[in-house]
Chains A and B, each alone.
Chain A
């Protein structure tokens, strides 16, 4: 068991180990992940209220990690919205290609939830485990230390239980914390680096009561969730491309791409060519892309998916069906961000249920 001093000692130790330490911070009415220097930076005493198209923070209790997920996952730090791939210098036959140096920054994440750990694992598969890998992502991952926080309350939009990703972290972290009343944490290490850090912190052994309280908190979070029935869902979605619900949801969907931006597993990128106004130098830049845009599928002659129906169907079918073919598991971790941050409150669990109902 550690307390707030222990947490501060952990943050300080990770920083003195040469790491940039990131954790949840309250900014402009939302919790985002930014650099922190102590537990004072955490959104203590704040909780979130989420539903379709709705996110608010309110003061509640005195927990450090009472607010669950904000809009941005850790994706922004590992697979950033903009990444220079390479540059050129010189013109014509003298053109030289200059590789972009690897991002070898050592980082620590404090407060990663189980669903987000699953999302990081999903992006690991896409970006590092195929025939080719993204070297920048791989470098950032190799230098990452993760302190997970087990959820003891869920947002109304959470469905990690259905996706088997949470609310308790089971893998992909160095240390996991479960916050108990009074700013105390049950701390468990899952790696050598985690165990070494933990051993150096001021702590006391956990009692059976502490462990019982932690388990009860996690059970409570589990019970607070919405559900999605994943049984047979991949085959069902692939078999019903003409289900009337796809047209119906397309009437509501604004094609704004918010869901793909907040989704912690969405990995698609577009390459842009940026030219200098002053000389022949050019830059190739990878930036987040969204399958909700028309130009995402553009080939000469036009877009493959000009209709809103086909674009929503592509996104949801990829998350819940074809991702399984590609990577052996679903591409949805049940974080619910796409529900909260959809301006019109489209709910992936509701859409999946509607398509299951038949009619197509």
Chain B
């Protein structure tokens, strides 16, 4: 096992071994992997994960930046490769390239209020942000996490959400689109929670991750409250075959999402996201 040398062959993966697997939801698992010589990552970066004989897809890293002894990914089985990935058991090996992509500028938000808005599986790519915020709690102002899931049974990282919610130094609100009668929490879109959240818009950095429609509503909601478009950061998703700017699939206007993103600010994305089917 060796770390890939991007200057010789960036498409060549290293072998990663799954050491632990946790079922999060009926269609979502989190696994931990070990890779010798792993260089670590920044929040918001992704790896290209390959199941041999099936294919390779980009998956964001959902673990803490501070522990580079293991690599943590949270995967929903929505396609052939993610289904094969989600089925891998501890001991299984897979191919790994990365980490790639522009990170969330979390440390640049030190001294400011932070609002994290996540929808669905979008909580996984922002979890490294939350770990950083909590590990360096004193470095940040008010912290708010707003999370939306389709239904109570689809709430990701439920236990962790509970632990974060019980802290007295951050605001955590969870909402669902549809609720059975035994749900006593918020019902509705996550952006509806913005108005009640406690932050000083002019001194706030926001991180938004989820379906594109949610990103648009959240970013517009934050802008309406007075958060600058350049202080709203979001993570975009497109088809990626290489992750390194060579395959062309992930283009969005002038950007290659894999190397110029996937994290962009709203000032950059707003004019592009307005164009249908860009």
Residues of A within 8 A of B (CB): 85-86, 88, 92-93, 95-97, 99, 126-127, 130-135, 238, 241-242, 267-271, 273, 275, 280, 282, 284, 286, 289, 291, 296-301, 304-307, 309-310, 314, 318, 322, 325-326
Residues of B within 8 A of A (CB): 6-15, 17, 50, 52-56, 78-79, 82, 91-93, 95, 237-239, 241-242, 244-249, 251, 253-254, 256, 259, 275-278
Q: Is the CB of A132 within 8 A of B244?
A: yes
Q: Is the CB of B241 within 8 A of A85?
A: no
Q: How far is the CA of A135 from the CA of B6 in the complex (A)?
A: 10
A-B contact pairs, 10 of them (CB 8 A): A85-B11, A134-B11, A241-B275, A270-B241, A271-B55, A271-B241, A273-B52, A296-B249, A305-B278, A310-B278
Q: Is the CB of A268 within 8 A of B249?
A: yes
Q: How far is the CA of A132 from the CA of B9 in the complex (A)?
A: 9
Q: Is the CB of B251 within 8 A of A289?
A: no
Residues of A within 8 A of B14 (CB): 97
Residue of A nearest to B256 (CB): A326
Query: What 9 pairs between A and B have smallest CB-CB spacing?
Result: A268-B248, A325-B254, A310-B277, A132-B244, A300-B78, A132-B10, A322-B254, A282-B53, A241-B275
Residue of B nearest to A93 (CB): B93
Residue of B nearest to A306 (CB): B277
Q: How far is the CA of A304 from the CA of B252 in the complex (A)?
A: 10
Given known A97-B95, A322-B254, contact A135–B249 (CB-CB < 8 A): no
Q: Is the CB of B245 within 8 A of A297?
A: no
Given known A93-B91, A99-B9, contact A318–B242 (CB-CB < 8 A): no
Question: How far apart are A259's CB and chain B's nearest CB, in angstroms?
Answer: 15
Partner of A269, one of B13, B239, B242, B256: B242
Q: Is the CB of A269 within 8 A of B241?
A: yes
Partner of A267, one of B54, B79, B246: B246
- Given A97-B13, A270-B249, 9 more contacts at CB 8 Å? A86-B9, A97-B12, A135-B10, A242-B275, A270-B247, A296-B249, A301-B78, A310-B276, A322-B254
Q: Is the CB of B277 within 8 A of A88?
A: no
Q: How far is the CA of A348 from the CA of B142 in the complex (A)?
A: 54
Residue of B nearest to A238 (CB): B253
Residues of B within 8 A of A132 (CB): 6, 10, 244-246, 259
Question: How far apart are B228's CB and chain A's nearest CB, in angstroms?
Answer: 23
Residues of B within 8 A of A241 (CB): 275-276, 278
Residues of A within 8 A of B238 (CB): 297, 299, 304
Q: How far is the CA of A304 from the CA of B7 in the complex (A)?
A: 32
By secondary structure, the B interface counts as loop
Residues of B within 8 A of A286 (CB): 11, 247
Residues of B within 8 A of A282 (CB): 52-53
Question: How far apart are A152's CB and chain B's nearest CB, in angstroms?
Answer: 35
Residue of B nearest to A86 (CB): B12
Residue of B nearest to A297 (CB): B239
Given known A269-B247, A296-B239, A304-B238, contact A322–B12 (CB-CB < 8 A): no
Partner of B247, one of A95, A97, A271, A300: A271
Residues of B within 8 A of A297 (CB): 238-239, 249
Residues of B within 8 A of A326 (CB): 254, 256
Q: How far is the CA of A41 from the CA of B163 in the complex (A)?
A: 76
Q: Is the CB of B53 within 8 A of A273?
A: yes
Given known A97-B95, A304-B239, A322-B253, contact A289–B12 (CB-CB < 8 A): no
Q: How far is the CA of A73 from the CA of B238 in the complex (A)?
A: 29
Question: How far apart are A131's CB and chain B's nearest CB, in angstroms?
Answer: 6
Residue of A nearest to B250 (CB): A297
Residue of B nearest to A135 (CB): B9
Q: How far is the CA of A43 from the CA of B11 in the complex (A)?
A: 40
Question: How far apart are A305's CB and chain B's nearest CB, in angstroms?
Answer: 5
Q: Is the CB of B247 within 8 A of A280?
A: no
Q: How far is the CA of A86 from the CA of B12 in the complex (A)?
A: 7
Question: How far apart are A312's CB and chain B's nearest CB, in angstroms?
Answer: 11
Q: Is the CB of B239 within 8 A of A99?
A: no
Q: How far is the CA of A270 from the CA of B246 in the complex (A)?
A: 10
Q: Is the CB of B245 within 8 A of A88?
A: no
Q: Is the CB of A99 within 8 A of B249?
A: no
Residues of B within 8 A of A306 (CB): 277
